[in-house]
Structure 1
Amino acid sequence: MGRIFIDKGCSEALCRVIKNSKHVIDTSTVNLQLADGEVVIDLDGTNPTQPVLQHIGISAWPGRLILTNYALYFEPLGLGLHEKGVRYDLEMDMEQVIKPDLTGPLGARLFDKAVMYKSTSVAEPVYFEFPEFNANLRRDYWLEICLEIFRAHKFIRKYNLEEIQKSEALARAILGIFRYRAVRDAFQYFSSHYKTLLAFNLAETLPGGDVILETLSSCLTNLTSVADKHVSGTIDTKMHQAVSLASVLTLARLGFVPLKKADIYEEAAVYGDVRVGETTQLEVAVKKSLLDTGRAQAAQATVEQVKVEGIDANVAVMKELLFPVIEAAGRLRFLASWKDFYGSGSFLLLSCYVILWGWIQYILPSILVFFASLMLWRRHFNSGRQRGAFTVTSPPNRNAVEQLLQLQEAIAQVESLIQAGNITLLKIRALLLALLPQATEKVALLLVFMAAAIAFIPLRHIILVVFVELYTREMPCRKQSSERWIRRVKEWWVRIPAAPVQLIKPDDGEKAAALLTYAFCASPFPPSCYRIWGMSVGVGT
């Protein structure tokens, strides 16, 4: 009974969606100049309590947003009426980027309720904000349906689909959006499983989704050849596995596509997508992807289980995982300190021997072979045996204030590292611009000497000299001279000036005007909002 109730509710919701979509086409195309075959899919911003705000730069403007199967249209609200819509293309390849983003007054990133559109056709990114008190369901819905149309056109461009195949692909995307709206209206909340109704979005996230799209393109490409055979009266269904134009014909019967065009496409509808006693290539690709999806979800479940909270805990886990690397690095530092003269000397002689005879190129392959052998040995002797959990000593607990202080200290350290990096780059810029001529001459001579060494001396001899120089700095007979030389280099570096930098601040007057605009238009109670907005427009102009 529950299954029947759910199916009945979804069917009724789907009928309402289709009826409302037809009404939207009649009411929303007054100010729009739609191309041939362009269908209005959805519209938002007509309800005064749920406006849509368009952000460009630091300015915001209310209006209504319209999605068709080719573009997005935004009609700004004027003095009580909607003005001519601005078109944002989703069909052509213009490096479009559609993603969720934050908006706020003066360009501040405060509210996570916007969809960002960016392409080569607009000077700067455009943000469509969907203000609401609870969550961000409107934004998520519009993000998904815009991406579905955009990815459908991306699929069409990638496989160079012709008119018939292009119409079928877009029709599938439109019907998927209608079903998505129906489920949203029927249950009044979103679930991640509802997004599976959007085929092209789903193919972007599924393992092997590219294979599914490639198989679908092959089936759609065969439509033309199958239609030709249908006209001639000979059809070989086993040689040409094609899908029918069921989506286009469905839209035609619902009144979204002209009947004259549908009559032409009727000739290509030879047989359906499902055939009795036969598995199509598309079904095989989907089943393979579902199998890989189950494995990916199982692996992701293990990832969620091992996530720990807190900076201290994550640092402790990382240190424990990198313990062999840290231990090896510690041993190398100990040998380079020459506290054990015989051990350090033996390692130096062995390393020099390896470098001189050219065996250094085999070190990395040897390490890879060692790890491969270790993995195969584990695979052979521990097959099916459950390993114990990786144990990590938990750090002492810290209260909220201590964690905030630690986070502040970490941010300060990151800031100091960035500052040091900027100073280094500015000093290099000063050397390139010869702000200190004497230092620039020395650096230029050093670069020429290094270039000559690299050009005429074998690489292994250069590696040997560099290794001996770095490794023997802490040697008793060299320690004092090395420290003096490093000190002189640091003193020389300190004397190099940094290239000047000028920071330009934005105009404060434009920010104040944008703040007033956002304050008037972002309110979810628009009757007074729009009156105030109209008054402000009259005064400003």
Structure 2
Amino acid sequence: MRLDLTNQNSRAEKTKVGPFGSKLFDSAVSVSSGSMSDEWTLEFVDFSGEMRRDVWLAFISEIISVYRFIREYGPGGDDPAIHNVYGAYKGKKRAVSSAANSIARLQSLQFIRRLYEDPAKLVQFSYLSNAPFGDVVLQTLAVNFWGGPLTTKARSANHRSTQWHRSSEDPSSGRTHVYDIDGSVYLRKWMTSPSWTSSHSANFWRNSSVKYGIILSKSLVVADKNLVEKAMVDCKEKSKVVERTQATIVAATIEGIPSNIDLFKELMLPFAIVAENFKKLQRWENPRSTFCFLLLVHTVIFRTERTRPVR
């Protein structure tokens, strides 16, 4: 059996399962290609925790996310302009290979039992889909995958010298292509994602033309960072701010819980003492006390039976 995860409406999420259709155990993954008839429920029985289920959810989510990324940031398969940029036809293969490498790294960490954080943070496309500033990182990945030198015919048609001077303009202005740090071109017509019009995207690309190091290739820069690395630094910083803010909110929400717990313990203290004394009676730690207790219970039961009216 096969399930197509390249569909636009494909999804994967945690779900609960149980006997006779009940929702008791949070140990499964629901996977769908868009229609209810093609929905699978994959159950992971693991009494040691939910890590195995979370790892497989990360695997599946990464596959769905990479094809969502290809649809949103890549050129169409029948776009003739893909032949105007050298190597752009390999962009989809590069994106899929990058996702496969992420899954392989996560699987290796699972095998050697070195998973110390949420597996969803270790697969790039799935994580960047929801991370702060993640859309800009996805843009730089798209430029890295599909960007390349213009062919001779395309250069003469688009006036390369004019476009190079426009490379530092706002990419959302509609008048320019986007350039990688080595001059590789990502065509304007491929910028169909709404994320290109955001303010933080415009600010990033406006400042991306500043170069300090020695550029050996789009992925190798000496004494500086390439575009993907620059975007990832901003993404990490903004993620830390969001996590600190969320932690502050959670701490403020549960601030009064310790005092409430202490009050609850004080109220439950008499019942705890009675339960502990009853256990001592059960264990015959003090035979005289246990014998007196049994005698008392026997007397109560006997008197209750004697006073019951006869019908």
- Same fold flag (TM > 0.5): yes
Contact 2:11 2:34 in 1 (8 A): no
For residue 226 of structure 2, what is the aligned residue in structure 1?
280
CA displacement at 1:166 relative to structure 2: 0.6
For residue 160 of structure 1, what is the aligned residue in structure 2?
74
The 3-state SS of whatever aligns with 1:192 is coil
Give the Cα separation in 2 of the matches to 1:138 and 1:395: 33
Instruction: Give the direction of change, closer, same or farther, for the CA distance of 1:124–1:90 in structure 2 (3 Å limit).
Output: closer
The total of aligned residue pairs comes to: 201
For residue 200 of structure 1, what is the aligned residue in structure 2?
125
CA displacement at 1:209 relative to structure 2: 0.3
Give the Cα separation in 2 of the matches to 1:137 and 1:395: 30
Moved over 6 A (4+): 393-396, 399-402
Match of 2:250 among 304, 311, 319: 304
For residue 7 of structure 2, what is the aligned residue in structure 1?
92
Give the Cα separation in 2 of the matches to 1:179 and 1:169: 16
Instruction: Give the direction of change, closer, same or farther, for the CA distance of 1:237–1:99 in structure 2 (3 Å limit).
Output: closer
Give the Cα separation in 2 of the matches to 1:120 and 1:180: 26
Tell me if 1:292 matches 2:238: yes
For residue 26 of structure 2, what is the aligned residue in structure 1?
112
The one-letter amino acid of 1:179's match is R
Instruction: Give the direction of change, closer, same or farther, for the CA distance of 1:126–1:237 in structure 2 (3 Å limit).
Output: closer
Contact 2:31 2:41 in 1 (8 A): yes
CA displacement at 1:208 relative to structure 2: 0.5
The one-letter amino acid of 1:91's match is T
Q: Once superposed, what is the RMSD of the aligned Cα atoms?
A: 3.3
CA displacement at 1:299 relative to structure 2: 1.5
TM, length-normalised to structure 1: 0.33
Give the Cα separation in 1 of the matches to 2:262 and 2:143: 60
Give the Cα separation in 2 of the matches to 1:198 and 1:106: 35
Structure 2: which 5+ residue stretches go unaligned? 78-88, 156-179, 187-215, 269-311
CA displacement at 1:303 relative to structure 2: 2.1
The 3-state SS of whatever aligns with 1:212 is helix
The 3-state SS of whatever aligns with 2:115 is coil
Contact 1:102 1:109 in 2 (8 A): yes
Contact 1:206 1:289 in 2 (8 A): yes
CA displacement at 1:214 relative to structure 2: 1.5
The one-letter amino acid of 2:222's match is V
Instruction: Give the direction of change, closer, same or farther, for the CA distance of 1:110–1:295 in structure 2 (3 Å limit).
Output: same
CA displacement at 1:107 relative to structure 2: 1.1
Tell me if 1:103 matches 2:49: no
1:421-466 Cα deviation digits (max 9, x unpaired): xxxxxxxxxxxxxxxxxxxxxxxxxxxxxxxxxxxxxxxxxxxxxx
CA displacement at 1:395 relative to structure 2: 11
For residue 175 of structure 1, what is the aligned residue in structure 2?
101
After superposition, residues 59-78 of structure 1 pair within 5 angstroms as none
Instruction: Give the direction of change, closer, same or farther, for the CA distance of 1:195–1:128 in structure 2 (3 Å limit).
Output: closer
Q: Radius of gyration: which is bigger?
A: 1
1:125-178 Cα deviation digits (max 9, x unpaired): 421101122212221111001000100000001123454111000000001111
Give the Cα separation in 2 of the matches to 1:92 and 1:241: 28
For residue 239 of structure 1, what is the aligned residue in structure 2?
183
Tell me if 1:184 matches 2:110: yes
For residue 207 of structure 2, what is the aligned residue in structure 1?
none
Give the Cα separation in 2 of the matches to 1:115 and 1:399: 39
CA displacement at 1:220 relative to structure 2: 2.1
Give the Cα separation in 1 of the matches to 2:102 and 2:262: 52
Give the Cα separation in 2 of the matches to 1:190 and 1:395: 33
Q: Higher RCO, 1 or 2 (CA under 8 Å, sep at least 6)?
A: 1
Instruction: Give the direction of change, closer, same or farther, for the CA distance of 1:271–1:98 in structure 2 (3 Å limit).
Output: same
Contact 2:181 2:218 in 1 (8 A): no
Instruction: Give the direction of change, closer, same or farther, for the CA distance of 1:396–1:277 in structure 2 (3 Å limit).
Output: closer
Identity of aligned residues (%): 25
The one-letter amino acid of 1:300's match is Q
